[in-house]
């Protein structure tokens, strides 16, 4: 089972990915992890990647695709994997398709921009311990103070309101078009096209989890039934 998760930052993809990992016993593959592993291995591909990263340049899509192709050959990917963070753009999605890296499910966790802004800009963390809070959903006992140490909480730069707004805009400009890309591919009748699932991402994480499981398993059962 090969799954691509899509959704705005803060939509809950990381939480749902963990549920999918536990249920289907498949790994989540990260382009960041692959880039670091390639450089650590000092392979020819890794050295090429290092050249870009040392210059502070983006690693070209064709190199990332090669890393993905190598990663999914690993034994833990034998029954599938979860991708989150790649592809992010139409050229990357097309490159993945042309490389023959098939995806079974594209799952979009849909949450409105205003809700994302609320979720992310309200986060506060205690840096030393990593404990996290939210000024609305999980406030500390004393505003601005860690419950355990009483030390100040901070807002990470990624959670700054202006930063969140920029990330939302980037998602809409670069990644949201992938939805139409995969829907158009599916409507073409190509058997390689992934099944698209839209999940409304409000409510408890368990409720969202169960909707994702139901969508995956009902479609899988239907496909298996058609093959008999």
Q: What is the pLDDT of residue 228?
A: 60
* Contacts with 64 (C-beta within 8 Å, 6 or more apart), sequence order: 31, 34, 35, 86, 92
Active-site entry in 156, 166, 192, 202: 156
Could you give the CA distance from residue 10 to residue 115 in angstroms, rounded to a whole number? 9
Instruction: Establish whether 167 is a catalytic residue.
Output: yes
Q: What is the pLDDT of residue 215?
A: 96
Please choose, from the candidates 189, 188, 209, 190, the residue with its C-alpha nearest in 3D space to the C-alpha of residue 199.
209
- Do the Cβ atoms of 12 and 123 come closer than 8 Å? no
Please check whether residue 176 lies inside any domain of the structure: yes
* Angle between helix 13-24 and helix 205-227 axes, rounded to 10 deg: 50
Please choose, from the candidates 205, 119, 111, the residue with its C-alpha nearest in 3D space to the C-alpha of residue 159.
119
Please check whether residue 204 lies inside any domain of the structure: yes
Active-site entry in 23, 36, 50, 88: 88
Whether omega for the bond prior to residue 87 falls within 30 degrees of 0, making it cis, is: yes
Please check whether residue 44 lies inside any domain of the structure: no
Region of residue 25 (left: phi > 0; alpha: psi -120 to 50; beta: else): left
- CATH number for the domain spanning 15: value is 3.40.50.300
SS percent in the chain: helix, strand, coil, step 5: 50, 15, 35
Please check whether residue 55 lies inside any domain of the structure: no
How many helices and strands, by DSSP H and E, does the chain display? 9, 7
Please check whether residue 56 lies inside any domain of the structure: no
Please check whether residue 20 lies inside any domain of the structure: yes
Instruction: Establish whether 118 is a catalytic residue.
Output: no
Query: How high is the mean pLDDT of the chain?
Result: 92
Counting the structural domains of the chain, the total is 1
> Where in the sequence is the domain holding 18, given as residue range(s)?
2-26+79-112+162-227
Instruction: Establish whether 123 is a catalytic residue.
Output: yes
Q: What is the pLDDT of residue 127?
A: 93
Active-site entry in 2, 71, 97, 123: 123
Low-confidence ranges of the chain (pLDDT < 50): none
Please check whether residue 182 lies inside any domain of the structure: yes
């Amino acid at each position: 089972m090969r799954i691509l998760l899509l959704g705005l930052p803060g939509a809950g993809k990381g939480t749902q990915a963990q549920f999918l990992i536990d249920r289907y016993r498949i790994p989540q593959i990260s382009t960041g992890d692959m880039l670091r592993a390639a450089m650590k291995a000092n392979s020819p591909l890794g050295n090429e990647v290092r050249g870009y990263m040392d210059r502070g340049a983006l690693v070209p899509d064709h190199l990332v695709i090669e890393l993905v192709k190598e990663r999914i050959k690993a034994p833990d990917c034998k029954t599938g994997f979860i991708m989150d963070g790649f592809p992010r753009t139409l050229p990357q999605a097309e490159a993945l398709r042309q490389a023959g890296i098939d995806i079974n499910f594209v799952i979009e966790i849909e949450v409105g921009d205003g809700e994302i802004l609320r979720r992310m800009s309200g986060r506060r963390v205690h840096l030393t311990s990593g404990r996290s809070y939210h000024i609305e959903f999980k406030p500390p006992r004393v505003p601005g103070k860690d419950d355990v140490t009483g030390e100040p909480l901070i807002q990470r730069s990624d959670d700054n309101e202006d930063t969140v707004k920029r990330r939302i805009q980037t998602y809409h400009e670069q990644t949201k078009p992938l939805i139409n890309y995969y829907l158009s591919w599916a409507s073409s009748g190509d058997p390689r096209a992934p099944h698209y699932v839209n999940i409304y991402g409000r409510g408890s994480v368990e409720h969202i989890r169960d909707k994702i499981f139901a969508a995956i398993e009902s479609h899988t059962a239907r496909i298996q039934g058609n093959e008999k």
